[in-house]
């Protein structure tokens, strides 16, 4: 398949030549949270066919954005990971996520799928580093059948799929409750109070959790609205 190009000697155009095709940035999104097997990528990108997924991965390999690896024991299975160049797309993807939370999300459409694991980058995008100053804690989130965890280290954040070895606090909720949080329908405190969610663990870690993530207020896109 011939790669399309804008044929412009411009950094933005050259970047879009590499990652502007459909599904490519979403593959980057998946790999930003760690190496993934082919089947993991298929599960996380519902609607992307096997052939197109293979083609997009070959493109990322060819362009030096992703590479094949073997997962460490006990898995020892082939997987894909980002290269340094691929990882440096992280801030751009996070900026798109922040913009989307403010200007693009709105109500969930009936045809749209949802995967709680996609929230890992959303958590990074909404993270308030100043509110996390001096905090060192690991939070494990159990959302439906998904488990992921967040490590906070004095204003820095790392988000990872899978359970934490020694979480300081654990938050459990349904997918519906989690969607309520991301859609501003309720706060974490309200979810816990209404028993839509439960939280256990270190009291100080749980107290600090409420201020660590700040969702931007949603705005309507209008043709002649104010710019501020």
Instruction: Flag whether pLDDT at 93 surpasses 90.
Output: yes
**Tens of pLDDT along 166-223?**
999 999 999 888 888 877 667 777 888 888 899 999 999 999 998 898 888 888 888 8
Instruction: Flag whether pLDDT at 21 surpasses 70.
Output: yes
Average confidence (pLDDT) over 137-157: 95
Q: In sequence order, what DSSP letters do the residues of 6-62 get, joined into one string?
A: ----SHHHHHHHHH-STTHHHHHHHHTTS-B-HHHHHHHSTT--HHHHHHHHHHHHH
Residue-range domains of the chain with CATH = 11-88 (1.10.10.10), 116-209 (3.30.1050.10)
Question: Which of 191, 205, 101 lies closest to 151 in space, CA to CA?
Answer: 205
113 three-state secondary structure:
coil
136-143 and 169-173 beta bridge pairing: parallel
Helix (H) or strand (E) holding 147: strand 146-153
Instruction: Flag whether pLDDT at 91 surpasses 60.
Output: yes
**Tens of pLDDT along 112-133?**
888 888 888 888 989 999 999 9
Average confidence (pLDDT) over 23-35: 94
* 160 vs 84 pLDDT, higher one: 84
């Amino acid at each position: 398949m011939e790669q399309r190009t804008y044929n412009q000697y411009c950094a933005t155009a050259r970047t879009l030549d590499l990652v502007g095709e459909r599904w490519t940035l979403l593959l980057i999104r998946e790999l930003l949270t760690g190496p993934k097997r082919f089947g993991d990528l298929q599960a996380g990108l519902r609607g992307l066919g096997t052939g197109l997924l293979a083609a997009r991965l070959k493109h990322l390999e060819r362009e030096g954005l992703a590479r094949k690896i073997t997962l460490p024991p006990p898995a020892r299975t082939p997987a894909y990971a980002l290269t340094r160049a691929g990882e440096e797309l992280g801030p751009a993807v996070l900026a798109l996520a922040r913009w989307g939370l403010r200007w693009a999300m709105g109500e969930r459409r009936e045809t749209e799928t949802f995967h709680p694991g996609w929230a890992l980058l959303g958590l990074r995008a909404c993270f308030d580093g100043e509110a996390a100053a001096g905090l060192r804690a690991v939070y494990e989130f159990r959302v439906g059948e998904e488990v992921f965890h967040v490590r906070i280290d004095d204003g820095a954040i790392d988000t990872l799929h899978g359970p934490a070895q020694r979480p300081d606090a654990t938050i459990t909720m349904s997918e519906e409750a989690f969607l309520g949080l991301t859609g501003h329908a309720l706060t974490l405190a309200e979810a816990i109070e209404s028993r839509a969610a439960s939280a256990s663990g270190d009291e100080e870690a749980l107290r600090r959790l409420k201020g660590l993530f700040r969702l931007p207020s949603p705005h309507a896109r209008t043709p002649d609205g104010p710019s501020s």
